[in-house]
Amino acid sequence: MNDVDTSFVVVTFLAVMAPLMARGLGRWVRIPLVVFELLLGILMGPSLLGWIQESELISALSNFGLAMLFFVAGTEIQAGTLRGRTGRMAWLGWIMSLAAGFGLGWVLMPGEGAMIVAIALSTTALGTLLPILRDAGELKTPFGMAASALGTVGEFGPLIAISIFLGGREPGLSTVVLLGFAIIAALAVWWAMRVPQGRLHEFVSSSLHTSGQFAVRTVLLILSAMVALSIALDIDMLLGAFTAGVLWRLIMREASESDRHAVESKIEGLAFGFLVPIFFIYTGVTFDLEALIDDPTLALLVPVALLVLFAIRGLPSMLVAPKGAKFSERLSIALMGATGLPIIVAVTAIGVDAEILSSGAASVLVGAGMLSVLLFPLIAMTMHGDRVSRDADAPVENEA
């Protein structure tokens, strides 16, 4: 086998080992699965053992895995979390984070680099948090819905900012293009909500257990079309992937509950069983550990950047905590809000490609993002415990 074949086999092997390791250690400590995927990628990548080499095939699958991660995040959006006090506080906290990040970025690197730093420090990894919340049975609890609101705004907001400020156009023109995308997306949403989908649901149901797999094929078509539209308009592809997930959720909203669950299971199998693990493992493989090892100053800046990420994104996230929440719960929500990686990887890659950001600076930000995924959810879920999961069906306090 050539190096590409060998690397792909090793990646798939690591994808199998990661949940086994997570389950084995889960008897003593609950560690998010992505932690093992990232660490195994670093271990087996060029920076250490060198068993996995960078390749166009794995890179393409990794990009599609990232798109699937945002698609699933779009399907998990709960509109109720963005209404009333919760939604207002989530947006206010994100705006505060973006402003603080931009101020710090302007001090460090005036110009476009400041916006890259601002976006990197104001993101929340909804796609990373959702599996953790789902596995812990927290999605419908006040804690889980607060974290979901943070993640929704913390991914959607940065995607808008990337499209406007880092799309290679003047912000005014970028805004016009983004509005064009929004109009197309709105028309698609109008179609999904207003046009009866009964016949489509019937076809989905009839092909659930056949080789046709119409639902899965339709999902891939919608995802590919929205991503292609984003690329054609020169806006971030992840915005298209996120929108595709929202669109599919609306299309299937009136399907039978059993069919919806069956389709969700198939999509989750494709995403979390194949594509998403490749993204996280390959993120570890491509992480520039050598830059940090060669420059001790950069290595020391990684934990500093992690603390900055918590201060800029985590502290404003406390605004979303339910009224009357204890400090420990507010701190847990802050840690969840400061968990960010996928958009940090995407925005720093844009910066490096445009020669706005050095590879070393990108490694510091990505390293902080990786540490946030490694540490923050683990600490947050440990502090939070199972207090809320005993009341998983309790409604969220969401004042008008």
| pLDDT at 306 > cutoff 60 | yes
The amino acid at 234: D
Q: Which two tokens stand for residue 169?
A: 């156009």
pTM for this one?
A: 0.82
What is the rounded distance in angstroms from the CA atom of residue 322 to the CA atom of residue 250?
Answer: 28
Amino acid letter, residue 169:
R
Burial label for 107, CB within 10 Å (0-12, 13-18, 19+), is exposed
Question: 9-18 pLDDT, tens per residue?
Answer: 999 999 999 9
* pLDDT at residue 359, rounded to an integer: 83
What's the confidence (pLDDT) of residue 81?
67
pLDDT value of position 4: 65
Phi, psi of 31 (to 5 degrees): -110, 130
When pLDDT is averaged across residues 15-27 and rounded to a whole number, the result is 88
Q: Among positive and negative, which fits the CA dihedral 129, 81, 239, 64?
A: positive
Mean pLDDT of 296-323: 93
Residue 327 has pLDDT above 70, yes or no: yes
Q: How far is CA 309 from CA 101, 124, 269, 344, in A?
A: 9, 10, 32, 11
342 vs 83 pLDDT, higher one = 342
Taking all residues of the chain, what is their mean pLDDT, rounded to a whole number? Answer: 87
136 pLDDT tier (thresholds 50, 70, 90): confident
Give the pLDDT confidence score for residue 121 in this predicted structure.
95
Burial-class residue 195 by CB neighbours within 10 Å (0-12, 13-18, 19+).
exposed
Domains of the chain, first to last: 55-391 (1.20.1530.20)
Question: 346: which 2 tokens?
Answer: 């995407």
DSSP state of 28: T
When pLDDT is averaged across residues 338-348 and rounded to a whole number, the result is 89
Q: Which of 75-84, 169-178, 222-231 has the highest mean pLDDT?
A: 222-231
Q: Which of 88, 91, 148 shows the shortest CA–CA distance to 122?
A: 91
Residue 393: burial class (beta carbons within 10 Å; 0-12, 13-18, 19+): exposed
